[in-house]
Amino acid sequence: MAREVTEQDIIMIDEMVAKARKAAAVIETYDQETVDRLCRAIAAKLYDLKVWAELSDEAVDETGLGDKVTKRNKRNKLKLILRDCLRQKSVGIIEENPEKGLVKYAKPVGVIASLVPTTNPCLTPAGQILYAVKARDVIICSPHPRAKKVTMKCINIIRDVLVREGAPADIIQGIEEPSIALTQVLMQKCDLVIATGGRPMVKSAYSSGTPAYGSGAGNATVIVDETANTAEKVREAARNTRISKTSDFGSGCSCDGNLVVHESVYDEFVKALQEEGAYLANEEEAEKLKAVMWDAEGHRLPGTVAISAVKLAEAAGFSIPADRKFIAVTGGGINEIGKEYLFSSEKLTTLLALFKYEGEFENALDMMRKIFNVGGKGHSCGIYSWNDDHIHRLGLAAPVSRIMVRQPNNKGNAGSATNGMPPTSSMGCGTWGGNIVSENICLKHYMNTTWVARPIPEDMPSLTELFGEFYHDGMDEE
């Protein structure tokens, strides 16, 4: 049972917010050069492999989630965020449109409450502080209770950098003993909430009475169509699937969960997956996996989240070779997709489901729609196709905020050096996913803007131009 908030709790949060507002009064006076230098200093400290590797190891040790090796690769997100920060203005005039007579000025949003997920206990505060500093905001983090030690360690590293650079340490703070009750108090007293995590967390943020950005649940689904019909294309699709599925032991909501593969390339694709490290589970093993991944009501069991393929098999009661990196199960066809078919829901571990579609591409789209009716609407999907019409049709049909074409979902969704997506660790999923935005939460979401409008020559078409065939004499102005 969650503990109630005490008077001492409220005093503590009030003191943290007061410190934050004092720091905000300082950082909002900084010029562009100063905030850019701060961003560089913070990113440089955390990008140092010795620092980041230690945080990655401690995150896995404390939470029991993820993979120490691939978690280290997440530091590359800091490079991307810093790149985008340095390329944009965030102080004074940030945009001008002489034709419309508009000038836009950037202003801080103020004090941000950040709800940090257990799966990214360091990357989330690290990436958010870069955007916050760039926008001249301050942040108070509420770590996940299972990751509070490593999150606070990351926060304190950043605070040391701020002090070294002559900035207030309280530009970032963290709740040392977090709880749901404390987080709710914090959200009510800040100016903006950024909630990165599951739907209950996001719902709580939206009901706090404070403006909020949230992220949605994933169930990443990738279509492989008949144009992946050469050995090279099949290998590329399989390699990228392995990269996406195995990153941090599949803990991310962008990691591939469902593969919808055309019958003409299905067998070759499965072989390529096995060459990339997949273990193809048989029917008996698949049933054992279901038993340890979901309870009788279909709720995901925590003990098998974000663990290695070998440990996942052990938990299910069978063994696989030590070199196997992920497990694949045969999901079947369109008739084996639905809430009662658990493998078509989000996995959050080193397991993916293979579905086969026959005939026309529309059949793949039907399966994709049916999968997202199980879960993951608004988040993401992908496609391995060299047919622009197929890519276009998926773009029209998919109820998601982002579609990756011929690239690993988990690398591409949140921004990479080889696509134009804004880098982030928080992905809005639109009204599909219960969120207010259907885009990556990035610098523009950390800023208020003031629009200055100067007069321009009158811009109003004639009535006949406006109303076209619906124009009639009675519309004429007196």
Residue 199 scores a pLDDT above 80? no
**Residue 457 burial by CB count (10 A; 0-12/13-18/19+): exposed, middle or buried?**
exposed
Does residue 1 have a pLDDT over 70? no
For 138-220, where are the E strands, in sequence order? 138-142, 172-174, 192-195, 212-214
Token digits of residue 54? 């230690």
Q: 221-224 and 278-280 as β-strands: parallel, antiparallel, unpaired?
A: unpaired
pLDDT digits (tens, 9 = 90+) for 241-283: 999 999 999 998 999 999 999 999 999 999 999 999 999 999 9
**Residues 138, 30 contacting (CB under 8 angstroms):** no
Q: 60: pLDDT confidence band, cut at 50, 70 and 90?
A: very high
- The arithmetic mean of pLDDT across residues 194-199, rounded, is 82
253 carries an active-site annotation? yes
Q: What is the pLDDT of residues 390-441, one digit of tens each?
A: 999 999 999 999 999 999 999 999 999 999 999 998 999 999 998 999 999 9
Residues forming a β-bridge with 214: 195
> What average pLDDT does this structure show over 28-52?
98
Whether the pLDDT of residue 349 is over 90: the answer is yes
Separation of alpha carbons 180 and 2, rounded Å: 7
List 253, 255, 381, 442, catalytic entry: 253
DSSP string, 32-44: HHHHHHHHHHHHH
All domains in the chain, ordered by first residue: 7-215+441-452 (3.40.605.10), 221-422 (3.40.309.10)
- Least confident among 159-173, 189-203, 274-288, 373-387: 189-203
